[in-house]
Amino acid sequence: MIEYREKLQRLIAGGTYRTLPHFERDGKYLVLDGERLLNLSSNDYLGLQQIPDLVEEYREAPEYSPLMSSASSRLLTGNDPSYDDLEQYLSSAYQVPSALVWTSGYDANSGIIPTLVDGETLFLADRQIHASMVEGLRLSGCRFSRFDHNDLSRLRNLLERNEGEYRHIWVLVESVYSMDGDEAPLEEIVALKRDFPSMCLYVDEAHSVGVRGGGLGICREKGLVSGVDVMLGTLGKALGSVGAFSLQSESLRELLVSQARPLIYTTALPPIMIGWTLFLLRKVREMEDRRQHLQEMIRRLGGRVGRTPESQIISLIVPGEERVAEAAEDFRRQGLYVRPIRKPTVPAGTERLRLSLTSAMNAEEIDHIAEVMKRWM
């Protein structure tokens, strides 16, 4: 087999060589080289892994399906009735025309965005959108511009310059950004649609679904769903399953089924996981106590370190490849597992530790995290 040693050496020299970690999971902890570490890199924001009876309860639930494989794409024989149940539940919960389930958020973003192009389309994207949305922009072959993160003035300027030149101007944002954990000014962005008739809004809610809005995300919490043209939610983070979903008009759903390559050419998720997702969605919407506890832990950490976090994602900037690696090792010595975030995920000079809080954490653990954080602030 062909070797790629030289290319690997270039990655190592450039600081972008990565390896897959090996560990055992134990609820909110990881066991790594014999050490039991509190996991600060998980997206299990509601701590569902700490509820051992959920799987047994699912086996007795009406949503349960024993089928372990779809063995086909949805357009062939993989469109199990459980998909209809889940999509109908989602469209009803959000009160939107249609929902569509995807194998992953990456597939959804990289498949939806190229499908939106109609020859008279411009995309305006926040500079910190997820890599999957950037991939979608590249695959679209369409013109796009980036605006500085959460810069409403620059966004308005771009809209003013291009209004009337395109049939559709799509604005791409996230409700909670994955690297810094800050929120988009969604209310102000939605309000721009009144001034610019060609503007359409695409919101990725990967890190707010499950955590905010009674489990349905920030757009639902703020009453903005009707002002969003495409909304994406993930099923593999706070919701504790796998895959993703999109909300859109009925005609766009039909177009996606006909044209979105990641949907057409992918084996469908197995019915056992689709049933599990619907089971968990119903459970998660009732977990307000877990959402409230998570918010309390976020406020507690903020008070201890003198910051006001906007979400459960806490970004600790530690510039420099070596220094951020040292910070991660220091956290590990203190019984805390967190991976350093480096280029190309973030620009050089903005290396960081990305800490994820979950509702499974208690006040003592939060206080300990704060003390270690302060050493690197």
Active site residues: 43, 130, 174, 178, 204, 207, 237
Go through the chain and tell me how many residues it has.
377
Cβ atoms of 377 and 318 closer than 8 Å: no
Please report how many Cα atoms fall inside a 13 Å half-sphere around the Cα of residue 294, on the Cβ side: 27
Buried b (16+ CB within 10 A) or exposed e, 331-365: beeeebbbebbbeebbeeebbbbbbbbbbbbeeeb
Q: Quick one: which H or E segment has residue 9? A: helix 5-14
Closest among 287, 288, 173 to 232, alpha carbons compared: 173
Q: How far apart are the first and last CA of the chain?
A: 47
Which residues, in sequence order, are CB contacts of 8 under 8 Å at separation 6+?
17
Three-state DSSP at 305 gives helix
Dist CA 160 CA 15 (whole Å): 41
Task: List C-alpha distances in Å: 15 to 10, 20, 21, 339.
Answer: 9, 15, 17, 15
CA gap 251, 96 in Å, rounded: 12
* Cα distance between residue 176 and residue 133, in whole Å: 14
Pairing of strands 168-174, 121-126: parallel
Question: DSSP 3-state assignment of 22?
Answer: coil
